[in-house]
Structure 1
Amino acid sequence: MGLSSSESSRALKRTVIVAIFSAVAVVLGILEAQLPLSAMGLMPGAKLGFANIMILTCIYFLRGRDAFVLVILKTILTAFILGTFSSLLFSLFGSLFSFAVMFLLMKGGKNRLSLIGVSIAGSIAHNFGQLVAASIVMGTTSIMYYLPILLVTGIVTGIAVGYSVRYLVNALTKISIFEDFLR
């Protein structure tokens, strides 16, 4: 059986939204890579997680599989464009941990946490995922001594990303393409 025209239209809208969100997430990742955070005293490879703005917004409006596709596209395209294939594993682990936590909190938590709370949890999960990847690559768990620092930075960046998502969600609900996806 084929899709009805309304189902087909909704599927097309989802595809367009994922494509746009992927493009924006990649651009945010590229801009973020240009910030000299390690020169400002943060750990090498530290990032602010601005691409999570698009991922959490996607989780808010769309299905989990749409957000999962966004995570994979953002991770691979950003690594390809920036030429940082050595960090692909770290980014992939962090992104997948973050996605899983944010998705479960958004869909399973039944609005128990605000977008800011979900963002903080996702940011901390991203940092933890990267540490797990580093532990695997380095063959040691001693890298986990970074965890307290990453918890603090995860909270700070999670708050910033959460506020951005809250603002973006409010703005996007006024655009007609998102009408079909409102809760």
Structure 2
Amino acid sequence: MAMSSSESATALKRTVIIAIFAAVAVVLSIVEAQIPLAGVGLMPGAKLGFANIMILTCIYFLRGRDVLVLVILKTLLTAFLLGTLSSLLFSLFGSLFSFIVMFALVKLGRRKFSVIGISIAGGLAHNTGQLLAASFVFNSTSIFYYLPVLLITGIITGIAVGFAVRYVVDSLSKISLFEEFLNGPGH
């Protein structure tokens, strides 16, 4: 069945939004990689989660499968530019777990959960997913001793990302490209 011109235009808009968000998420990941959190007393590998700004923002505008494409694009591109195979695995586990949790919370009702609360849940899920991947790779559960530190950093970064997402969603809602996507996931 052929798409109508309006369906084709909407599909093109989705593709453009995903591409822009993926590019911004990769740039944010590169900027984040330049900030040495291990040097300020946090655990090695701890990150601020700037790319989650784009993921959570996308959840508020596009369908789940669109956001999943964004998550995979961001993870692959960032790993290609900055990482190794093991960092790809850790990032993929964390990103997918975070996406699933945040998407589910938005689908359950964005009026039940604040953007900041959803972002915190995403940060906690990302850190937990990374630990699960590390536990699998190293065949050890002793890696979970990092969990308390990661939960604290997940809460702090989740709050910061949540504030940023609230601002970005409000700002993008005023741009004509995003008008037809204002009703959120499932469109």
2:126 is equivalent to residue 106 of structure 1: no
Alignment of 1:122-133 (within 5 A): 122-133=122-133
Identity %: 74
Gapped runs of 5+ residues in structure 1?
Answer: none
Aligned to 1:27: 27
Gapped runs of 5+ residues in structure 2?
Answer: none
Query: RMSD between aligned alpha carbons?
Result: 0.9
Alignment of 1:24-173 (within 5 A): 24-173=24-173
Describe the superposition over 1:60-117 as per-residue Cα deviations: whole angstroms up to 9, x where unpaired. Answer: 0000000000000000000101143331100000000000000000012352101110
- Runs of 4+ in structure 1 over 3 Å off: none
Q: CA deviation at 1:163?
A: 0.3
DSSP 3-state at the match of 2:48: coil
Q: CA deviation at 1:25?
A: 0.2
Tell me if structure 1 keeps the 8 A contact 2:46–2:150. no
User: Which residue identity lines up with residue 107 of structure 2 in the other structure?
Assistant: K
DSSP 3-state at the match of 1:174: coil
Moved more, 96-105 or 106-115: 106-115
Describe the superposition over 1:16-37 as per-residue Cα deviations: whole angstroms up to 9, x where unpaired. Answer: 0000000000000011011111
CA distance in 2, matches of 1:37, 1:152: 14
Aligned residues: 183
CA distance in 1, matches of 2:34, 2:12: 34
With CA pairs under 8 Å and 6+ residues apart, which has the higher RCO, 1 or 2?
2
Describe the superposition over 1:115-155 as per-residue Cα deviations: whole angstroms up to 9, x where unpaired. Answer: 11000000000000000001001111111111111111111
Tell me if structure 1 keeps the 8 A contact 2:131–2:143. yes
